[in-house]
């Protein structure tokens, strides 16, 4: 049975502990430090994060998106406003993201509210994307059902012809979000499943308070 087969995949964590005195006071700085270390060890997609959203019906959905910036106010990512996640965030701005870096035996959870970025910031980022990605943002009706993959290829060709010889503008349905956190949790794997968990919490702009959680 599958359960028996999966039992053999158990991994023992071997890395040392995370001393509380070495944690940054600001959780955003701590996240930047861990992200830099993931990049340094050439982790696959170190800025990949699982984004969990829930619409008005309360049903959660998760998918992987890419972190595109750590700003003073929070975490920046981009997507289609009309996608399933875009519609859910319009109904319910509370979200959670998860980073997982198995090479470092680390996880980070960040929770808070999202808000759309100003259009000028979305314009600037869109202009920096590869042209093929810009065209794809116009061609794909993200999360909508299509009759066949060939439909998407045809839409791409049409968009490619439409913008031939000129810059591709940002679609009005595509742009950035800022996740404004009220909670960060840093997880470090330890031997014997005695993992370390440190949570930073803030309420209405107050200073960050750090808590130690049992694994």
Give tens-digit pLDDT for 141-192.
888 888 899 999 999 999 999 999 999 999 999 999 999 999 999 999 888 7
What would the two tokens of residue 96 be?
């959670």
Give the CA distances from residue 184 to residues 57, 80, 128, 197, in Å, rounded to whole numbers and listed in that order: 26, 26, 29, 10
Residue 69 is assigned to a structural domain of this protein: yes
Residue 190 is assigned to a structural domain of this protein: yes
Global pTM exceeds 0.95: no
Residue 145 is assigned to a structural domain of this protein: no
The residues pairing with 53 across neighbouring beta strands, listed in sequence order, are 61
Residue 200 is assigned to a structural domain of this protein: yes
Range of the domain at 32: 15-129+172-213
Query: Three-state SS string across the chain, please?
Result: CHHHHHHCCCCCCCCCCCCHHHCCCCHHHHHHHHHHHHHHCCCCCCCEEEEEEECCCCCEEEEEEECCEEECCEEEEEEECCCHHHHHHHHCCEEEEEEEEHHHCEEEEEEEEEEECCHHHHHHHHHHCCHHHHHHHHHCCCCCCCCCHHHHHHHHHHHHHHCCCCCCCCCCCEEEEEEEEEEEEEEECCHHHCCEEEEEECCCCCCCEEEEECC
What would the two tokens of residue 161 be?
């012809």
- CATH label of the domain that carries residue 205: 2.30.110.10
Residue 152 is assigned to a structural domain of this protein: no
Q: What is the pLDDT of residues 41-66, one digit of tens each?
A: 999 999 999 999 999 999 999 999 99
Q: Which residues are catalytic?
A: 193
Binned at pLDDT 50, 70 and 90, residue 8 comes out as: low
Check whether 11 has a pLDDT greater than 60: yes
pLDDT at 141: 87
CA angle 84, 88, 91 (to 5 degrees): 145
Residue 144 is assigned to a structural domain of this protein: no
Give the CA distances from residue 59 to residues 16, 43, 54, 200, in Å, rounded to whole numbers and listed in that order: 38, 32, 5, 26
Mean pLDDT across the chain? 92
Residue 209 is assigned to a structural domain of this protein: yes
Separation between Cα atoms, residue 95 and residue 60, nearest integer Å: 10
Residue 192 is assigned to a structural domain of this protein: yes
Number of domains in the chain: 1
Binned at pLDDT 50, 70 and 90, residue 6 comes out as: low
Check whether 92 has a pLDDT greater than 80: yes
């Amino acid at each position: 049975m599958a359960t028996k087969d999966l039992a053999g995949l158990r991994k023992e964590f071997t890395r040392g502990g995370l001393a509380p005195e070495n944690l940054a006071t600001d959780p955003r700085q701590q996240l930047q430090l861990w992200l830099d270390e993931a990049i340094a060890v050439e982790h696959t997609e170190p800025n990949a994060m699982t984004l969990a959203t829930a619409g008005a019906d309360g049903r959660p959905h998760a998918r992987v998106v890419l972190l595109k910036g750590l700003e003073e106010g929070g975490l920046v990512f981009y997507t289609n406003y009309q996608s399933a996640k875009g519609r859910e965030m319009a109904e319910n701005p509370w979200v959670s993201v998860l980073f997982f870096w198995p090479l470092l035996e680390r996880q980070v959870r960040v929770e808070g509210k999202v808000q759309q970025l100003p259009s000028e910031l979305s314009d600037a980022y869109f202009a920096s994307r590869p042209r093929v990605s810009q065209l794809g943002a116009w061609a794909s009706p993200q999360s909508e059902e299509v009759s066949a993959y060939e439909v998407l290829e045809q839409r791409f060709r049409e968009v490619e012809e439409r913008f031939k010889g000129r810059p591709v503008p940002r679609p009005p349905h595509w742009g950035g979000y800022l996740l404004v956190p009220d909670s960060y949790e840093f997880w470090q794997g330890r031997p014997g499943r005695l993992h370390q968990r440190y949570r930073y919490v803030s309420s209405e702009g107050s200073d960050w308070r750090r808590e130690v959680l049992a694994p």
